[in-house]
Amino acid sequence: MSELDATDRRILTVLQKEGRITNAELSERVNLSPSACHRRTQRLEEEGFIAAYVALLDPRRLGRPTTVFVEITLQGQADDLLDAFEREVAKIPDILECHLMAGQADYLLKILAQDTEDFARIHRQYLSRLPGVRQMHSSFALRTVVQTTALAV
């Protein structure tokens, strides 16, 4: 795997914010010829710096404006319990993120719901059935202050 130089970083910065930009536009923005820009972008993809290209959807327009963070503490830390929990949580369609944590909670989930009633449905239908859960604590976000998918490169 190669090191990132300043040009690679410029390419990554632009692509994070404008994933549908054409190669011609990208090459112009980063001051490269189109062929050199294409080669570099391909290399960044092949080496895993670019993991995927996606469309970021607006949760409000899709009727899911309510963000809920759920802290989950399991009954223990045995590998089979962690594996069982992770297998089941991965099946829940409403979960955007699940993180194994250090600290008080074992896992932190990020869920988007229509409203509190919809979250109650998600809780009843999925969360309450997760294996090995000792404690669950849910927090509703009042407002998103900062949100980005762009990493500093």
Q: Give the model confidence (pLDDT) of 92-122 as tens digits.
A: 999 999 999 999 999 999 999 999 999 999 9
Identify the bridge partners of residue 113 per DSSP, sorted by sequence position. Answer: 66
Residue 1 has pLDDT above 70, yes or no: no
Cα pseudo-dihedral 110, 115, 118, 122, rounded to 10: 20
- State the CB neighbour count (10 A cutoff) for residue 12: 19
- Reported as a pLDDT band with limits 50, 70 and 90, residue 144 is very high
Q: What confidence score (pLDDT) does residue 83 get?
A: 98
Q: What is the pLDDT of residue 128?
A: 97
Over the chain, what is the mean pLDDT?
Answer: 97
Mean pLDDT calculated for residue range 115-143: 98
pLDDT at 92: 98
Position 2 confidence tier, pLDDT thresholds 50, 70, 90: confident
Mean predicted confidence (pLDDT) in 119-133? 98
Domains of the chain: 6-46 (1.10.10.10), 66-140 (3.30.70.920)
The three-class DSSP label of residue 85 is helix
Q: Do 41 and 50 form a contact (C-beta atoms < 8 A)?
A: yes
The pLDDT confidence band at residue 146, using thresholds 50, 70 and 90, is: very high
Over range 125-142, report the average pLDDT. 98
**Residues 58, 46 contacting (CB under 8 angstroms):** no
Is 153 a residue whose pLDDT tops 90? Answer: yes
User: pLDDT category, 129, cuts 50, 70, 90?
Assistant: very high
Residue 3 has pLDDT above 80, yes or no: yes
pLDDT at residue 62 above 90? yes
Residues 91, 88: Cα–Cα separation, whole Å: 5
- Which strands form 95-100's sheet, in the order they lie side by side? 95-100, 107-113, 66-74, 133-140
* 6-17 and 34-46 helices, crossing angle to 10°: 80
